[in-house]
Structure 1
Amino acid sequence: MTLRIGLVTSEFPPDLGGVETYSWQLARELGSRHDVAVTVFAPPTARDVVPPPNVTIRPVLTSCMELDWARLKDEPIDVWHALSAAHCWLALKGRPTVVSVHGNDFLVPYPTTMRPALALPGMWRLRGLAWKELEPLWRRTTAQMLRRALPRCGAIIANSRYTADVLQGLVPGCNERIAVAGVGVDTAFFDVPRGVGDGVPQLLTVCRLSEARKNVDRVLRALGALKDSFDFEYVVAGDGSLRTELEGLAAELGLATRVRFVGRVDDAELRRLYAAADLFVLTASVTPASHEGFGIVYLEAAASGVPSLAARLAGAVEAVEEGESGYFVETTETDAIEAALASFLAGTVHFDAERCRVFARRFTWARVADAAMKAYLQTLSTPISTP
């Protein structure tokens, strides 16, 4: 008998990000297994994406519950898997539902799946309002939905122990349903060659430049204080609303010739950047609305033989093994980042590329898919709670 799995996600290629990577890799791994049929319900932006083998992509998702329910309710699916918290509303419709949680997706829910559907009767009257001004209302109603729906899900898969603990504190009713499955890393990163550079240390950051808590500005300020003492080059890959401001800061600090902002990069270029890097740097903070639930980029770096400098906060503690695949700053203040970078640039701390890769090999998408399959069977064998 074939198990029909419906993966529901608002974050999927060609968009970039941790949840997008999670969604693609899980779909690919599940599609490689016998006796399953995988359908991904994704946004219209995925219409030109070539699916992994044995996976069907349906680019129909609007991320509005009322509109999506009309599209999904008659689909021949045995078990639904919401790939981020905002889509767990499926459990309220009495459908067997598994949900993956990543951290930020339930702290401040995105997308706002409980916003009204303008296509429904009467909703046209809202077109004249400042729709964005109503966004906080939709976010609150989506958060309220999460607290009702998550305890009704058959199983909850967390990307880290930290994420699981935060969720348990926020929604105690789902404690017994949470399993920590971690994340995986694409095996292509293990084939990244370790190049021989020109002797100038290469530092790399890969992140969206839209959240101040990523602290790229503090890394720049730390490097500005170190520029007269050490040679280095710093590459920042990623794009976002803060990019122009960060480029201006680099110029102001006298780093214009030593820092490159390369924007969004494709997979091949990303591997080339890791191949050239000596240290990956992402010293992100925790805020009430956002944190690193895990940080797949730390694993990508380790799989490429590149150690990481991270903050000893949130899921990064599980994504980096101190002394093996990187090291930590105890605070995200600029002076702490400066001291940590100085230690690396001076050669006081150093790492072995193969030991970084050994750590990364612990994390596989096969393990995540195994946890998902177990969750599907558990969900199908559990009576559905009545809304």
Structure 2
Amino acid sequence: MNEYLIYPFGKTRSAIKLVNLFLKRIYQSMDTKTQSLESSLTVPSVQELALQNPQKVPPRYIRDDDGDDDFCTFPSSDPSLTIPLIDMAKLVNADTQQDELHKLHLACKNWGVFQIVNHGVSSLKNMGNQVKRFFELPLQEKKRWAQKPGSLEGYGQAFVTSEVQKLDWNDMIFLKSLPIQNRKLDLWPQNPPQFRETLEKYSEEMRQEATSIVSFITLALGLEDTKISESFHEGLYDIRMNCYPPCPEPERVLGIIPHADNSGITLLADFGDFPGLQFLKDGKWVGVEPIEGAIVANIGHIIEVMTNGIYKAPEHRAVVNKTKERLSIVTFCYPNPSIDIAPAEKLIGEGNKQVYKSMTHAEYFNRNFEVT
């Protein structure tokens, strides 16, 4: 495995401690019978738990009960630090494109994440409303689209591999969206009535957005090869819709544990009014202040490989609130499986060391992250 993908922020003491704690949690949670991350065990609904107005968090959700406080609580950052903002309208305007491309380059290189405004995804608000209505359904109704044994798709929780592992404070529904033949429509909710139709439109618009963003990322690096962006137009798109209910002890739980994405790029629509999404920057967590109608984009490991490590996949997590619910829609965008995942030729040679070896799609997803 590539050392950088284990220590994405360098071998600082805090980074090593975070990774060691993360791996400890994962390995402790797995037994020899349940070591697959392609499925998830059934666990109680966090929404239903929150509706009972508990005074304390059940032990299985508590993340600070064994002395590993740093696993949850890296220091908060200077409030003056803010996630970069990219204006898509300026990227498509010839008069402003170069300045905005420079901003995009710095955002990808220094942060690995940015917020996008003026993106033109018209179904964003409607999709958010459909997700809200879905999570407002009675539990038994939501269970009509519950995960099935051996699959992550459907309503439930992700990556629960053991009856004793720690749990995230969220419920979710995860669906494969594109290409169309990957869809399992028996898991696509028919209630609320417009859910499927809205998700179809949303998926297409997010594909167009991802393709456009990746094309500008390649331009920001001075690459003229359009093969990368074209591969995303014919790529794979998975969508995860999250509900983070209010929590009586938010400082003791995590909505989602720290991780970096294995996608090419991840696009997130936030429907909360507090910074529940956080990215690790220089050893400190930086909250993403929600901007109505904006999309949060972060680099995944595939783009990290394709850019030869110039742009890096950032560590991020979700935190929760004591009184407020938060919803989010996350689109994981992957290139077409036929394309090799490899550094762009222009970024290697002539004194530029090739950081990552070339991989097929299958090798990448078998986690063969080897350095040359």
**What TM-score do the two structures reach when normalised by structure 1?**
0.24
Identify which of structures 1 and 2 has the higher relative contact order when contacts are C-alpha pairs closer than 8 Å and 6+ apart: 2
Task: Kindly name which structure, 1 or 2, has the bigger radius of gyration based on alpha carbons.
Answer: 1
Task: Name whichever structure is richer in helix by fraction.
Answer: 1
**What TM-score do the two structures reach when normalised by structure 2?**
0.25
